[in-house]
Amino acid sequence: MTRTRLIDGLRPVASRARRNYRAMRQILARRKLRAARFHDPLRPGQRPQDILAVLLLTVGIAVVAFDVPTYPWIRSLPDEYRRAFATFTDFGKAHWILWSTGLACLALLALDASKLTFRLRMGVGAVFTYAAFTFYTVAATGILALALKWTLGRARPKLYEEAGPVAFDILSFHGHGYTSFPSGHSTTVAALATALALIFPTWRWLIVVAAFWVAFSRIMVGAHYPSDVIAGTLLGMTFTFFTARALARRRIGFHLTGDGRIEPIMSRRSAAACLRTFRQVLRGRRSPWQADERSAAAAGAPDGTVQ
């Protein structure tokens, strides 16, 4: 009996999720036609050949100048350094990001947002868009990093004395000891940081600095060489940037300014208004439902507030 009630209760939720998913697919299909008509060439420094040049230059310099002396230098440091960096290096793991953003998307997909007030609908749409964007970029770059790791087969620093710093065994699949290039943690944290920096541009430098130390921690704990971290960082940043640009061309979550910069489509004023409405709902000072807001307006209550 309890199971039957549970199934009956989940049916409308599943129906709403399917309806919202179909609506989302229709929006994406319409925006795809807009992107096909949109003309905004990439600026110098953003073109694929430019990014490849940066990758070859930075990774090449790191392999020649930094990879060889780094591991012996780290081993000469007191253990306290490694323990300190080990406390936060796992922020570069993808699972906590994928779980949080994935569950948020599923919950919002099952929500009947059409009954919410305007500001709450706007906020729900923005949260879903940015959570889905973050989930996609972190998941996709993680898969790319894993494919490169197992294909290139670079020996990790723990095999420094046995194999050296530039030992590659392509397609050998020797195991975890030969999956150093690129750094998966650095790829994930770069993808997350780039997404957050695009969503919250006023917090950009704090996000960049925090991401730098998480990526750098992979060197300090002896898990990767500097070139691994640089390659992973460029992979995460590049993929996330081009994903955001594709969304901006469709005006989904982002838009392109006149000088080609990517900015959130929701202004700071609109975001502040949505947050203010959300806080009022949580404090019980305002109803989240359109019907209640209309009733309150008809009764003379300003802006749907609870009297």
DSSP character at residue 241: H
Which of these ranges, 40-44, 181-185, 235-239, 277-281, has the smallest mean pLDDT?
Answer: 40-44
Tens-digit pLDDT profile for residues 207-242: 999 999 999 999 999 889 999 999 999 999 999 999
Instruction: Choose among 84, 96, 106, 83: nearest CA to 20.
Output: 106
Token reading at 190: 């770069």
pLDDT at 196: 96
Sequence-ordered list of residues with C-beta below 8 angstroms from that of 252, at least 6 positions apart, any chain: 27, 28, 31, 129, 265
Mean pLDDT of 36-64: 82
Tens-digit pLDDT profile for residues 36-45: 556 667 777 7
pLDDT at 307: 45
pLDDT at 121: 86
pLDDT at 235: 95
Residue 25: pLDDT above 80? no
Mean pLDDT of 10-27: 70
Q: Which one-letter amino acid corresponds to residue 88?
A: F
Residue 28: pLDDT above 70? no
Domain boundaries, the chain: 7-289
pLDDT at 35: 58
Most confident of 4-18, 101-115, 230-244: 230-244
% of the chain exceeding 70 in pLDDT: 84
DSSP character at residue 175: -
pLDDT at 24: 67
Please tell me the pTM assigned to this model. Answer: 0.85
Distance between CA atoms of 223 and 242, rounded to whole angstroms?
Answer: 28
Which of these ranges, 131-140, 216-225, 247-256, 290-299, has the smallest mean pLDDT?
Answer: 290-299
Residue 294: pLDDT above 70? no
